[in-house]
Structure 1
Amino acid sequence: MKSYRDPSFQDRVGRAAAAKKKALDALRSKPPVDEAVVAERQAARLKREAAEAEKRAARRAAEQAAKEAKEAEAAAKLAAQPAPRSEAELKAARDARYAARKNRK
């Protein structure tokens, strides 16, 4: 007597064929695709993709504008700073401070 856990090769082949037949029947029983519905879905998908692309472009433009504004602000801040003095000017200022301190004593 064969056990439950030891099906024969013929049993397995039969079950596989039955499963395949069942899957094919399920596939064949699906209703045919309506072209109008497919076209409507595709149009909706294209519209959604176009809206997303527009959002991405707007976001990139806003980021670019913010970056340019930040760079302009940094340039303005740099321009507002006094120009660095030359070594001769720094030496003259230092000598003046030393002379003022000497004169105070």
Structure 2
Amino acid sequence: MAIYREKNFAERRDAATTAKKALLEKYKAKPAADDPAVLARQAERKAILEARAIREAEKEKLRQERLAREAAEKAEREAKAEAERLAAEAAAQEEASRREAEESDRIARVLADDAERKAKRDARYAARKSRVKRMPPSANYG
């Protein structure tokens, strides 16, 4: 089993210097801009970016179509709901008119019945009065 040993300053400095040299060598080994591998990699990246742009444009087109379709469906639903609301209002208005007509008929019948009862009562009253005004024949001999 290895025992952990802390590195001293010189070892850390040497490790940092080695790492810097490795980075410098890697940078120096970098191919030039006109290297065919670099150009191929750039062309590949450009093709990827163009393909991504095409996909994004298609996605946007599909999104716009979906939004337009949803807006049309929403407008259709709202128009249908408005038509149903208007039909319900018309039915309610018709029902109210029918009830009002029934109420008017009932009131007219009640008033006609009251007028008929009053006419009968008045006729009875007039008949009674006419009987009272006539004096019986025996009343003159008294």
The answer to whether the superposition gives a TM-score over 0.5 is: yes
TM-score (norm 2): 0.48
Map Cα deviations across residues 36-87 of structure 1 (whole Å, 9 max, x no partner): 21221122112111111211111111111111112112223433425727x7
CA distance in 2, matches of 1:55, 1:68: 20
Any unmatched runs of 5+ in structure 2?
A: 106-142
Q: Quote how far apart the aligned CAs of 1:88 are.
A: 8.9
3-state DSSP of counterpart to 1:63: helix
Q: Against the structure 1 CA distance between its residues 92 and 46, is the aligned structure 2 distance closer, same or farther, given a 3 Å change threshold?
A: same
Pairing 1:1-105 to 2, within 5 Å after superposition: 12-13=9-10, 15-27=11-23, 28=25, 31-34=29-32, 35-80=35-80, 81=83, 84=86, 90-97=92-99, 99=101
More helix by share: 2
Report deviation, 1:93: 3.1
Regions of 4+ moved over 6 Å: 4-7
Larger radius of gyration: 2
Instruction: Point out which structure has higher relative CO (alpha carbons under 8 A, 6+ apart).
Output: 2
CA distance in 2, matches of 1:6, 1:57: 57
**Number of equivalent positions:** 95
Aligned CA-pair RMSD: 3.8
CA deviation vs aligned residue, 1:17-43 (integer Å, no higher than 9, x gap): 321332244332673425321221122
Q: Percent identity?
A: 25
